[in-house]
Amino acid sequence: MLYTPINFKEKLSKFTEHWSPKVVAEMNDYQFKLVKVEGEFVWHDHPDTDEVFIVIEGVLDIEFRDGKVTLESGEMFVIPKGIEHKPVAASECKVMIVEPRGVVNTGDAESSLKAQNDVWI
Amino acid sequence: MLYTPINFKEKLSKFTEHWSPKVVAEMNDYQFKLVKVEGEFVWHDHPDTDEVFIVIEGVLDIEFRDGKVTLESGEMFVIPKGIEHKPVAASECKVMIVEPRGVVNTGDAESSLKAQNDVWI
């Protein structure tokens, strides 16, 4: 049998909206999600889990209350659980997120940017 | 404070050996590892966990008892737990592995390719 790889570019071609992560794979109870981002997200945190951002294409700033990190293609960062952060992208950026199944993009924050969870492409 | 991104190319420049995964990040009790591979690995499985392969550069075949998958740069695959597999790379390939802390590269197999675990770069 020929198994099918999960191709990031092909998956990213399937949607256009921003700040709406799409699940492409599960490993145990963790999910790998692809998301397109542009502009400013909301300040939020995830009280129960770390969160990984891997930049596929573009540039992503992640602001913290005491500083920031800038990620380019081929770079990653682990947001520790409970740490407030705000992703910001000056122009469209394509990102992979890794986190446990069930994590909502806006964490504990109330926001119109809250995306439907567990949407697969 | 300016936080430091984890840059895959910079991390990969720090070692040359094959089949010896290096940890670059931890998220909860999971580790993100970079590894350079070339040639044939051993048949093995991980009875307690799925395992993710993401190809950074090059081409990786993962053989299964009933087939195979070929991964290129920007592609990933999830090896389900308990499924025997054998990674093969015709020429050097750079790969990110995601799996729980404590997973040994050769799984249950006895092999001279068994690498020291939990080595950070």
pLDDT beyond 90 at A3: yes
DSSP for A42-109, please give it: --B--TT--EEEEEEESEEEEEETTEEEEEETTEEEEEPTT--EEEEEEEEEEEEEEEETT--TTTT-
Which chain B residue's Cα is nearest to A12? B74
DSSP lists the bridge partners of residue B101 as none
Interchain contact, B5 vs A78, CB within 8 Å: no
State whether A8 and B49 contact (CB < 8 Å): no
First to last CA, chain B: 22
pLDDT of residue B108: 82
**Residue B75 Cα, gap to closest chain A Cα (Å):** 4
Across all residues in chain B, what is the average pLDDT? 96
Q: Which residue on chain A is closest to B96 by alpha carbon? A: A74
**Cβ B28–A8 below 8 Å, yes or no?**
no
User: In this predicted model, what pLDDT tens digit does every residue of B93-105 receive, in sequence order?
Assistant: 999 999 999 999 9
List the single residue in B5, B27, B66 with the smallest CB-CB distance to A50: B27
Please state, in angstroms and rounded to a whole number, the distance separating the CA atoms of residues A2 and B56.
Answer: 21
- A56-87 pLDDT tens trace: 999 999 999 999 999 999 999 999 999 999 99
Measured in residues, chain B has a length of 121
Which helix H or strand E contains A10, and what residues bound it?
A: helix A8-12
Residues of A in contact with B26 (CB under 8 A): 50, 78
Give CA–CA dist A4/A1, Å, rounded: 10
A7 chain-B contacts, CB cut-off 8 A: 74-75
Contacts of B2 in chain A (CB under 8 A): 67-69
**How many CB atoms are located within 10 Å of the residue B32 CB?**
25
* pLDDT tier at A110, thresholds 50, 70, 90: confident
Contact residues, chain A, for B69 at CB < 8 Å: 2-5
**Residue A39: what pLDDT?**
98
The per-residue pLDDT for A53 is: 98
Q: Which domains does chain A have, with CATH numbers?
A: 10-100 (2.60.120.10)
Report the gap between the CA of B91 and the closest CA in chain A (Å). Answer: 19
What mean pLDDT do residues A9-21 have?
Answer: 97
